[in-house]
Structure 1
Amino acid sequence: MNRRARLLLGAALLGAVALGAARAQPTPPLPAPVAGEERALTLEGFGKVAYFADPRGSGRPLILTVSVNAAASGYEMRPLWDAYAGQRPVYLLEWPGFGHSARPDVPYTPELMTRALTALVAQLGQEADVVALSLGSEFAARAALQEPRIRSLALISPSGLGEPRGGSPQGAGRPQSGWLRALGGPLYALIRTRPSIGYFLGRSFRGPLPRDLVDYSVATSRQPGARFAPLAFIGGGLFTPDACGELYSRLRQPVLVLYDRDGFVSFGRLPEFAARPGVFAVRIEGTDGLPHFEKLPEVRAALDTFWQGLER
């Protein structure tokens, strides 16, 4: 047995113990991530896709989308929701397989995620600004290539603009491997423990890790079916192999990129992308992947300046 096989077997055994302990306890319902009305879309061949709505305010609707990881949820965008709710119509989309959306054991692909966003834009029936986070930026860009009513994109620490870092999945766009499917349950049970979730979230913060974000991440990772979409992510099947060339460089909408450092992605191709007309890059210094938690005033100032420029 080689070293990799021994490591996988060890992780599976530890995960099996964690999985058995988790199954012994009832799963409480997942609270709403934000103070909005929960609504739902139905995707053919998939089922329910959840989104939260606060239609108050005026102006073009704002759609917030989340990242993709072992415990992704709408809570990741709560600071931006709280900043804009009541001022302009705000909608928060939870990708298929995450949050309050259905979590069936089906193939999770970039096309499925893209369908969720384009369906929400169609439901709104008007132009909207989209803010996307991390890998969600690739789905948002793919949707913008298909849906002209996406007026602009703001991408926070987007993947696809450089090489993955720190052991994050490669952008292979490949189907889930046999070993991952076989060991997926125990492996995910190990990943979703509080120490594991705290470790990975901590790599996205320069300062203290918010306890409420950890609590919510643990809660969402314990919902029935929670492992299926994250395992597609871990296997690399949700990435576009060349997102910069295949997606970002083809965009015609105005784009804002907010970045600094990130424990999971790099931005080696950002200068190339930012040199294109209509593309703006703003560095939110002193942050590590979730700048809207640590430097919300700076993030909001950059977003507001970007959107005001669209009106001019």
Structure 2
Amino acid sequence: MSRQPREKGRAGSYGIAAFLTFLGSAAGLVGWSRFAVNRRMDLPPALPGRLETLATERAGDIALYGSREKAGVPLLLIHSINAAANAYEVRPLYKHYRDSRPAYALDLPGFGFSERSRRRYTPRLMVEAIHAAVAEIRGRHRGSAIDAMALSLSCSYLARAAVERPDDYRSLGLISPTGFDARLSGEGPPDGHRGRDALRNLLDRPPFGRPLFDALASRPSMRFFLQKTFGSKDIDEGLFAYDHASANQPGAEHAPYCFIAGHLFPTDSTRLYEELRLPVWMVHGRRGDFVDYRLAPRVAGRPNWRVFSLPTGAFPHFERLDDVTADYDAFLEGLSPVTPRPQA
């Protein structure tokens, strides 16, 4: 008859021990983050050329790389969205095209050298940043319509920007676009997002918000996620090193927490792609975690779309740059000719 009180006492002891263990682990995480993590790692420019900051009314301060010495139709490159996204993701394409045409690359809000303040990051904010960058580029090139290319989730932002301002663009390029899969296809309300404010507010607040992000952006964690992106352990080590440095900057956690909470995922991406009337070039890989393009046939047969795939991961331009650029160039050759003027 004395076992029940004894068992209750043991259960209470176990509960107290578990609680103390949790507190110790949490305190250890906070201490490790505060004293062992360098949150001000040196971050050189991701790309050659000029790096400048544009002060915008709707998107805050955004960073724009530019190499405009050559004549031709300007090309704007836009990186993907993840915990450590930045313009380095378009580096192979930028370096390739800057030798033959004006080339630009954007750090989206919350990433790279753009403003990383604590605010709600949504597709609308990203679209406004693209609008501002495109307006700046067109102003430098006598109002010429541009070519623009985006990666992954940012393809949906570029599609929205082009639907809203089609005269800004001659063509669109989409690399591994999000929105053709079963899970994140967009048939929902226009210009909406999938964000959960309660989750974002839980994550992005002291004392655990930054320490949790530091763990997410640790070297082992980042290597793991890049391997999933590439579909191989053979990742680009330069991209890995730069991503790690970029994630260890002040404010680096705010946009990724909006990404994790769903605020950066549009509700209407698939519908946006179907609304495009501009020439669209699309490439995706067939290896790794991002290979679900079951809805691509909805646009692949349209006369304004060119779709092909490669035996790569989600960043085919890092693995098969020559194949990517050759097909993209063939696509551009089929467009209506333009005669942009050289820069003064």
Provide TM-score, normalisation by structure 2.
Answer: 0.81
Q: In the TM superposition, what whole-angstrom CA distance separates every residue of 1:10-45 from its partner, at most 9, and x where no partner exists?
A: 99677535422445x461331111111002211225
Deviation for aligned residue 1:164: 4.3
Q: Which residue of 2 aligns with 1:116?
A: 129
Unaligned runs of 5+ in 1: 2-7, 166-170
The answer on 1:190 being equivalent to 2:222 is no
Q: Is the alpha carbon distance of 1:265 and 1:114 closer, same or farther for their aligned partners in structure 2, counting shifts above 3 Å?
A: farther
Deviation for aligned residue 1:92: 0.4
Q: Is the alpha carbon distance of 1:275 and 1:14 closer, same or farther for their aligned partners in structure 2, counting shifts above 3 Å?
A: farther
Q: In the TM superposition, what whole-angstrom CA distance separates every residue of 1:22-73 from its partner, at most 9, and x where no partner exists?
A: 45x4613311111110022112255310010000222110000000100001
Within the candidate set 178, 186, 195, 1:174 is matched to 195
In the alignment, is the contact (CA less than 8 A) between 1:129 and 1:153 conserved in 2? yes
Unaligned runs of 5+ in 2: 1-14, 16-21, 139-143, 185-191, 338-344
Within the candidate set 18, 27, 33, 1:19 is matched to 33
Q: Which residue of 1 aligns with 2:228?
A: 203
Where in structure 2 are the equivalents of 1:27-106 lying within 5 Å? Answer: 27-44=40-57, 46-106=59-119
Q: Distance in 2 between matches of 1:144 and 1:84?
A: 22
Within the candidate set 224, 239, 250, 2:250 is matched to 224
| SS of residue in 2 equivalent to 1:101 | coil
Q: Is the alpha carbon distance of 1:26 and 1:248 closer, same or farther for their aligned partners in structure 2, counting shifts above 3 Å?
A: closer
Q: Distance in 2 between matches of 1:134 and 1:144?
A: 16
| SS of residue in 2 equivalent to 1:105 | coil
Considering only aligned residues, what root-mean-square deviation do their CA atoms show, in Å?
A: 2.4
Q: Distance in 2 between matches of 1:188 and 1:298?
A: 36
Q: Distance in 2 between matches of 1:35 and 1:193?
A: 27
For structure 1, which segment, 72-81 or 182-191, has the greater mean C-alpha deviation from structure 2 after superposition?
Answer: 182-191
How many residue pairs end up in the alignment? Answer: 298
In the alignment, is the contact (CA less than 8 A) between 2:58 and 2:129 conserved in 1? no
Q: Is the alpha carbon distance of 1:53 and 1:257 closer, same or farther for their aligned partners in structure 2, counting shifts above 3 Å?
A: same
In the alignment, is the contact (CA less than 8 A) between 1:14 and 1:190 conserved in 2? no
The answer on 1:215 being equivalent to 2:241 is yes
Greater Cα radius of gyration, structure 1 or 2: 2
Q: Is the alpha carbon distance of 1:59 and 1:203 closer, same or farther for their aligned partners in structure 2, counting shifts above 3 Å?
A: same
| SS of residue in 2 equivalent to 1:256 | strand
Provide TM-score, normalisation by structure 1.
Answer: 0.88
The residue type equivalent to 1:302 in the other structure is D
Deviation for aligned residue 1:263: 1.3
Q: Which residue of 1 aligns with 2:146?
A: 128
The residue type equivalent to 1:155 in the other structure is L
The residue type equivalent to 1:228 in the other structure is H
| SS of residue in 1 equivalent to 2:230 | coil
In the alignment, is the contact (CA less than 8 A) between 1:206 and 1:287 conserved in 2? yes
The answer on 1:289 being equivalent to 2:323 is no
The answer on 1:308 being equivalent to 2:333 is yes
Q: Is the alpha carbon distance of 1:173 and 1:29 closer, same or farther for their aligned partners in structure 2, counting shifts above 3 Å?
A: same
Deviation for aligned residue 1:277: 2.8
Q: Distance in 2 between matches of 1:65 and 1:9?
A: 42
Q: Distance in 2 between matches of 1:14 and 1:258?
A: 44
Q: Distance in 1 between matches of 2:269 and 2:53?
A: 29
Deviation for aligned residue 1:172: 5.2
